[in-house]
């Protein structure tokens, strides 16, 4: 007689939201980068110690990110990146991994670094909870602001302009608002309109709204 014992192989959740009971499980790599963050600093460097500084805050989750970079002027490779954040475990793990990706193997060039996506960071972390993918974008946004180091070197044509386009003129909703909604979990037009009311008073904007929705879904979630 053969006895089959059934066991629950589901991993134990790392986090449970007390309001929604939603559960999140982090990979071993993500946990390691949260508990042992690479290139993290507590005290801010003295003025002039780094070539450039970038800072960004996310109203979506309350995270604030600040990074410092040193760049080899001849090769434009990133020699060093330091960072600090007031944020969640996902933001800490993602930024830690991002800092490794920028500086490993002699450092990436600025152009190479700008091609790193949220999916790239998430893949190196062996995954993040879907609702926390937006946290991996914080480091990228802060880095893009730091890259305006180009302003200090006279390369004005390479400065990244962080502009917004008004999509719904009645509610003054921009493409960045739609981007943030997608990062927070919005998946379709119905969800987007529940969240932002976008397009309800401006039906002529709906084709562009749906196009942006598809674009940001593809950009961040594949």
pLDDT tens for residues 13-27?
655 545 455 555 789
Task: Give the residue extent of every domain in the chain.
Answer: 25-158, 166-221
**Residue 196: predicted pLDDT:** 85
Averaged confidence pLDDT in the chain? 80
Thinking of the domain 25-158, which architecture would CATH place it in?
Alpha-Beta Complex (3.90)
182-205 tens-digit pLDDT? 877 788 999 999 888 889 888 999
The model's confidence at residue 150, banded by pLDDT at 50, 70 and 90, is low
Sign of CA dihedral 177, 178, 183, 188: positive
Burial of 97 (0-12, 13-18, 19+ CB in 10 A): buried
Q: What is the pLDDT of residue 9?
A: 42
What pLDDT was estimated at residue 61? 52
Q: Which fold has domain 166-221?
A: Arc Repressor Mutant, subunit A (1.10.10)
Query: What pLDDT score does 177 carry?
Result: 82
Residues belonging to the active site = 61, 135
Overall average pLDDT of the 78-104 stretch? 92
What H or E segment, with its residue span, contains residue 170? none
| pLDDT at 131 > cutoff 80 | no
Closest to 196 in 3D by CA, of 211, 179, 208:
179
Structure token pair of residue 178: 């739609």
Residues 67-96: what's their mean pLDDT? 91
């Amino acid at each position: 007689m053969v006895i089959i014992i059934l066991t629950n192989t589901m991993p134990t959740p790392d986090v449970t939201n007390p309001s929604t009971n939603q559960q999140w499980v982090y990979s071993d790599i993500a946990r390691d980068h949260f508990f042992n963050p690479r290139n993290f600093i507590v005290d801010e460097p003295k003025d002039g110690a780094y070539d450039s500084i970038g800072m960004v805050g996310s109203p979506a989750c309350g995270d604030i990110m600040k990074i410092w970079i040193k760049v080899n002027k001849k090769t434009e490779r990133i020699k060093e990146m330091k960072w600090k954040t007031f944020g969640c475990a996902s933001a800490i793990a993602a930024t830690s991994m991002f800092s490794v990706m920028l500086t490993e193997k002699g450092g990436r060039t600025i152009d190479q670094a700008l091609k790193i996506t949220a999916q790239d960071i998430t893949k190196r972390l062996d995954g993040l909870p879907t609702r926390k993918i937006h946290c991996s974008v914080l480091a990228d946004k802060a880095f893009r602001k730091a890259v305006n180091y180009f302003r200090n070197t006279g390369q004005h044509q390479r400065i990244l302009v962080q502009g917004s386009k008004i999509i719904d003129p009645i509610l003054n909703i921009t493409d960045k608002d739609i981007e943030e909604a997608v990062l927070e979990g919005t998946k379709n037009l119905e969800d987007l309109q529940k969240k932002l009311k976008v397009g309800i008073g401006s039906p002529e904007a709906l084709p562009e709204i749906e196009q942006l929705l598809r674009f940001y879904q593809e950009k961040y979630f594949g």
